[in-house]
Amino acid sequence: MKWNWQQKEWPHFKYNKALLDELELDFTHKSGVFLGTFKHIDSNEKLDLSINLICDEALKTSAIEGEYLNRDSLHSSISKNFGLKADKKKSSLAEEGISELMVDLYQNYSKPLSSQTLKQWYSMIISGRKDLDNIKSYRTHESPMQVVSGPIHNPKVHFEAPPSQNMIKEMNRFIDWFNKSQPKAKEPLPTLIRAGIAHLYFVSIHPFEDGNGRIARALAEKSLSQCLGQPTLIALSIAIEKQKKKYYDALDYSNKSLEITDWLKYFSETILEAQNYSQKMVEFLIKKAKFYEKNKTVLNPRQEKVITRIFQEGIEGFKGGLSAENYISITKTSRATATRDLQDLVDKKILDKKGQLKGTRYDLKM
Predicted local confidence at residue 128, as pLDDT: 79
Contact criterion met (CB below 8 Å) for 51 and 79: yes
pLDDT at 221 over 90: yes
pLDDT at 277 over 80: yes
Q: Which of 133-142, 310-319, 340-349 has the highest mean pLDDT?
A: 340-349
Contact criterion met (CB below 8 Å) for 178 and 187: no
User: What CATH topology corresponds to 297-364?
Assistant: Arc Repressor Mutant, subunit A (1.10.10)
Average pLDDT over residues 305-330: 88
Residue 59 carries which side chain, given as an amino acid letter?
A: L
- The CATH superfamily assigned to 4-284 is Fido-like domain (1.10.3290.10)
Q: Which of 75-89, 212-226, 345-359 has the highest mean pLDDT?
A: 212-226
Q: Where are the domains of the chain?
A: 4-284, 297-364
pLDDT digits (tens, 9 = 90+) for 85-126: 877 778 899 999 999 999 999 999 999 999 999 999 999 999
Contact criterion met (CB below 8 Å) for 40 and 60: no
Model confidence at 279, in pLDDT bands (50, 70, 90)? Answer: very high
Predicted local confidence at residue 11, as pLDDT: 97
pLDDT at 216 over 90: yes
Model confidence at 357, in pLDDT bands (50, 70, 90)? Answer: confident
Predicted local confidence at residue 300, as pLDDT: 96
pLDDT digits (tens, 9 = 90+) for 128-153: 787 887 778 999 999 889 988 888 88
Please provide the average confidence, as pLDDT, over all residues in the chain: 93
Same fold, 4-284 and 297-364: no
Q: What is the 3-state secondary structure (H, E, C) of the chain?
A: CCCHHHCCCCCCCECCHHHCHHHHHHHHHHHHHHHHHHCCCCHHHHHHHHHHHHHHHHHHHHHHCCCCCCHHHHHHHHHHHCCCCCCCCCCCHHHHHHHHHHHHHHHCCCCCCCHHHHHHHHHHHCCCCCCCCCCCCCCCCCCCCEEEECCCCCCEEEEECCCHHHHHHHHHHHHHHHHHCCCCCCCCCCHHHHHHHHHHHHHHHCCCCCCHHHHHHHHHHHHHHHHHCCCCCCCHHHHHHHCHHHHHHHHHHHCCCCECHHHHHHHHHHHHHHHHHHHHHHHHHHHHHHHHHHHCCCCCHHHHHHHHHHHHCHHHCCCCCECHHHHHHHHCCCHHHHHHHHHHHHHCCCEEEECCHHHCEEEECC
Give the residue, 301 or 358, on which the prediction is more confident. 301
Predicted local confidence at residue 17, as pLDDT: 97
Model confidence at 43, in pLDDT bands (50, 70, 90)? Answer: confident
